Amino acid sequence: MMKKLLLAALVAGSLGTVALPSTAAIVVVREAPPALREERTPDPRHGYVWQAGHWEWKHNRHTWVRGTWLRERKGYVYHQPTWQEREGKWEMQRGNWARGDKDGDGVPNRVDNHPNNPNRN
C-alpha cells in the first residue's frame, strides 16, 4: 500500500512540472542585461573562433560567461550571442553557426571564386 501511495505522489508531482532545456536557442526575460564587461580579446588562433564574453540568463538572474575559443567549422560563420529589447522584454539569441558567407561579401562560399578575400571592398 505504501509503495502505491508513494508512486501516486511521484506521478502527481511530475504532472505539474514543465522542463525547458537550458540550451534553448532564444531566451526571453523582463530584466535587461547589465553592460558588457571589458575583456581582452586574444590574438587570432588558427582553426578557432573567439566567442566573446556575454551575459546569459541562468538560475533566474544574469550570469557573466567569459570568452572562450570555439573550434572552427569549415563552411560556417559564427554569430556571437546577442540581447535585444522587444516590447519591453529582453530576448537573447544564443551564439550559433550558420552556413555561408565567411567574408561578408554576400556571395555564399560554395559559389564564391575567392572566398575569404581580405582585399574586397
Please give the mean pLDDT across all residues of the chain: 79
SS3 string, 55-72, reads EEEECCEEEEECCEEEEC
- pLDDT tens digits for 35-68? 999 999 999 999 999 999 999 999 999 999 999 9
**Helix (H) or strand (E) run with residue 13 in it:** helix 2-15
pTM of the predicted model over 0.85:
no
Residue 4's H or E segment, with its range, is helix 2-15
Break the chain into its structural domains and give their ranges. Answer: 46-103
DSSP label at residue 25: S
Q: CB-side exposure of 44: number of CA atoms within 13 Å?
A: 3
